[in-house]
Chains A and B, each alone.
Chain A
């Protein structure tokens, strides 16, 4: 029957799309579980080292590391952690919006901006936006290693040590639950003493005993700290990416289903109208004879 050929082919093509989106949803769901496990596994270390470092920042050490000095802000560095692939809803765009808002604030205060982009989406965005992209890293895959990140993190740390940047932030999506991810701008350098530690912040002027010596320990510990924070940001962002993709693909699959239902209705109506008309014509023809 010639009726509704276009509608039928449209339904067919939407069905194909629906197959793809539902497959992507299932893939994302299984990857999400693994990404969440990975995030949970490295979380204790990242949070403990942050606690230790905030103690150090609150202490008055004999040796002041460059990472602990507050300097006038002339240039701000950002490590922006995004996904490598798209089709994950508004995840990356929301992140870039939050980052840009923070960047604008600093630019308003007369600071210049350096960006280190992790993930190809951030690289592409900031190349287009016209930010000063000093380092980029992409293609980390689903299970990144801390060693993969060392290079691009080192670019920013070196810049900080040489005084090229005076502040360093990391921007990533915080995983709240499967449905919610929140863009987060976290200051890495200079180190911040944790305000929540009310009992210890009152005691000022204390210092650690260091074994073997303060410089050696702080140098090593602080680099480890930055690396673990960036690694945690990347792992958390991957968990966010997979769950955002799963949710986005689920709603795409549902939308395709609704669309198919509507088109099916239109198609059925057209077909029925054609049949009715044909019968009417036959009946009319028979009456004329």
Chain B
């Protein structure tokens, strides 16, 4: 049996995942991270994206996070997400709409601040859509 580590994913609103995992893949601010058991302690910030958890036995779970922190201890991974959603709960239409709204806001940029906000929104919406696409691919649709 493959080695496993304990994975905890919580958002400010609820607990999303708590259990053993073979590998956890997350998108940190400096790139994709794949964490296997025995990883050296690590602390990183997350950018909007998908967290892929390969559960014991090979089943995969996809979770979208908007941003947050990831902590790695040799036998545990903890994700502290600002807001997170299971892939199957994301509303694709809403995500698309948010993405278009963000793009529009970026085009008629009036202030520097708004541009930064819009860019953040766009990144989040894009990451949500990407999560859905990954889920689709997994399900073979």
A interface residues (Cβ-Cβ under 8 A, vs B):
41-42, 44-45, 48-49, 51-52, 55-56, 59, 146, 200, 206-212, 216-217, 220-221, 224, 228
Which chain A residues border B40 with CB–CB below 8 Å? 209
Contact of A52 with B80 at beta-carbon distance under 8 Å, contacts A207-B41, A209-B40, A217-B69 already known: yes
Q: A56–B12 Cα gap in the complex (Å)? A: 20
Q: A282–B5 Cα gap in the complex (Å)? A: 96
The reply to whether the CB of B103 lies closer than 8 angstroms to some CB of chain A is no
The reply to whether the CB of B44 lies closer than 8 angstroms to some CB of chain A is yes
Chain B residue nearest to A217 (CB atoms) is: B43
Which chain B residues border A217 with CB–CB below 8 Å? 43-45, 69
Chain A residue nearest to B45 (CB atoms) is: A217
Taking the closest CB of chain B, its distance from the CB of A115, in whole angstroms, is 27
Q: When the two chains form the complex, which single residue of A45, A52, A209 contacts B12, counting CB atoms closer than 8 Å? A: A45
17 extra A-B contacts, CB within 8 A, seeds A45-B11, A208-B71 = A42-B13, A44-B10, A49-B80, A51-B78, A52-B80, A59-B41, A207-B41, A208-B41, A209-B40, A210-B44, A211-B44, A211-B45, A212-B30, A217-B43, A221-B43, A224-B69, A224-B80
Chain A residue nearest to B68 (CB atoms) is: A224
0 or 1 for each of B70-98: is its CB under 8 Å from A? (1 = yes): 01010000101000000000000000000
Residues 1-24 of B contacting A (Cβ, < 8 Å): 8, 10-15
Q: A207–B10 Cα gap in the complex (Å)? A: 23
Which chain B residues border A224 with CB–CB below 8 Å? 69, 80
Chain A residue nearest to B30 (CB atoms) is: A211
Chain B residue nearest to A220 (CB atoms) is: B45
B interface residues (Cβ-Cβ under 8 A, vs A):
8, 10-15, 28-30, 40-45, 69, 71, 73, 78, 80
Q: A168–B76 Cα gap in the complex (Å)? A: 29
Q: CB distance A55 to B10 under 8 Å?
A: no
Which chain A residues border B28 with CB–CB below 8 Å? 211
Contact of A44 with B43 at beta-carbon distance under 8 Å, contacts A212-B29, A221-B69 already known: no
Q: A51–B69 Cα gap in the complex (Å)? A: 13
Chain A residue nearest to B81 (CB atoms) is: A45
Chain B residue nearest to A207 (CB atoms) is: B41
A-B contact pairs, 30 of them (CB 8 A): A44-B14, A44-B15, A45-B12, A48-B8, A48-B78, A48-B80, A51-B78, A52-B69, A55-B73, A56-B43, A200-B73, A207-B41, A209-B42, A210-B42, A210-B43, A210-B44, A211-B42, A211-B44, A211-B45, A212-B30, A212-B44, A216-B45, A217-B43, A217-B45, A217-B69, A220-B45, A220-B69, A221-B43, A224-B69, A224-B80
Q: A111–B92 Cα gap in the complex (Å)? A: 57
Taking the closest CB of chain B, its distance from the CB of A2, in whole angstroms, is 65
Which chain A residues border B73 with CB–CB below 8 Å? 55, 200
Q: CB distance B69 to A42 under 8 Å?
A: no
Chain B residue nearest to A231 (CB atoms) is: B12
Q: A100–B69 Cα gap in the complex (Å)? A: 37
Q: A49–B28 Cα gap in the complex (Å)? A: 18
Which chain B residues border A209 with CB–CB below 8 Å? 40-43
Chain B residue nearest to A218 (CB atoms) is: B43
Q: When the two chains form the complex, which single residue of B30, B42, B45, B80 contacts A45, counting CB atoms closer than 8 Å? A: B80
Q: A26–B45 Cα gap in the complex (Å)? A: 45
Contact of A206 with B41 at beta-carbon distance under 8 Å, contacts A45-B10, A52-B80 already known: yes
Which chain B residues border A210 with CB–CB below 8 Å? 42-44
